[in-house]
Amino acid sequence: MKTGRAHVAPQFRGARAQRPGLASGVSPGALPAFPRAPGRCICASLPRALAGGALRLLPVPRRLRHIRGGLAAGTGDKVLKKLAILLAALLLPALAQAQGSYKIAPGDRLTVTVLEDANLNSQVLVRPDGRVTLPIVGSISVVGRTPEQVQAMVRQRLAGSFNVTPTVTVSLAATALPFTVQPENIYVLGEVAKPGVLQTTPPQKLNVLQALAQAGGLTQFARGSAIQIRRVNPKTGEETVFSFDYDELEAGRRLSANITLRDGDVVFVPERGLFD
């Protein structure tokens, strides 16, 4: 039975890979280099080539041949530019879709571009009242709208100032920084089981009895009839001191003394005297 043989170009007949370690100068594990005709490549598995198998020449696809030729000619920058354009074409629609669904909020920055008149181009900050002021357009409300909706609004407002419908682009330049709520500190000091700082996060609030309870309650040495609440006015620096009897407050006789504490308030429980 006859066995078929792969067709090899005449100029490559007899070209076979030699086993590593022979006097061919081929380092072990490396595939020897073979001459190849322009537009063709040598395709052979490494074990077959090292075993002395015949090599088969396959044509190089024109697309790859074009890229290879371009790089060899020093046009690598052109290839990179084409790749950049391709990536932009893929990413820009996704970014446009994301901006199209975004609702503008106070603190955002918007970029407004009018192709027909560069003097109308501007970058504006959305004010706390949700409005922006643009040349010719004036003050408009943008909060809760998408950039595309604001774009249509600006185009409509400017239409009367141009002979043709202006080309307006409104995009989101920057979003507002996220607002973080700062904790409030209440200090419970003196004769309590666990003196220290109590932190609350607004809108959570503590009154006097709640603060004393979280501090572990009064110790046996506490003078409960003279508990003080010290409050400093942040504008003037003036300190106000409230005093109350813990027993009366706990018994419900002076509920007005169970005030809601503010940030920076100090609840001080003094030590009782020798004859108290």
Give, in words, the CATH class of 184-269: alpha beta
Average pLDDT for 212-234: 94
Residue with tokens 């020449």: 57
% of the chain exceeding 70 in pLDDT: 63
Asked if the domains at 102-174 and 184-269 fall in one CATH topology, the answer is no
Q: Output the furthest CA–CA distance in the chain (Å, rounded).
A: 124
- Give residue-wise pLDDT tens across range 9-64: 555 454 444 444 444 444 444 444 444 455 544 444 444 444 444 445 455 555 54
C-alpha radius of gyration, the chain, whole number? 41
Decide: 8 and 55 in contact? Cβ < 8 Å: yes
User: Which of these, 164, 70, 64, lies nearest to 114 by C-alpha position?
Assistant: 164
The amino acid that residue 33 corresponds to is A
- Residue 42 CA to residue 27 CA, distance in Å, equals 19
Q: pLDDT tens for residues 82-131?
A: 676 666 555 555 555 555 578 999 999 999 999 999 999 999 999 988 99
Q: Domain residues of the chain, as ranges?
A: 66-94, 102-174, 184-269
On whether the CB atoms of residues 207 and 255 are closer than 8 A, the answer is: no
Calculate the average pLDDT of the chain: 76
Return the CATH class of domain 102-174: alpha beta
Do 247 and 207 touch, CB atoms closer than 8 A?
no
Mean pLDDT of 129-148: 93
* Pair 76, 70: CB distance under 8 Å: yes
* pLDDT score, position 24: 44
Query: Would you state the torsion angle of the CA atoms of residues 50, 52, 54, 58, taken in this order, to the nearest 10 degrees?
Result: 10
Q: What pTM, to 2 d.p., does this model score?
A: 0.40
Statement: residue 215 has pLDDT above 60: yes
Task: pLDDT band for 254, please (50, 70, 90 cuts).
Answer: confident
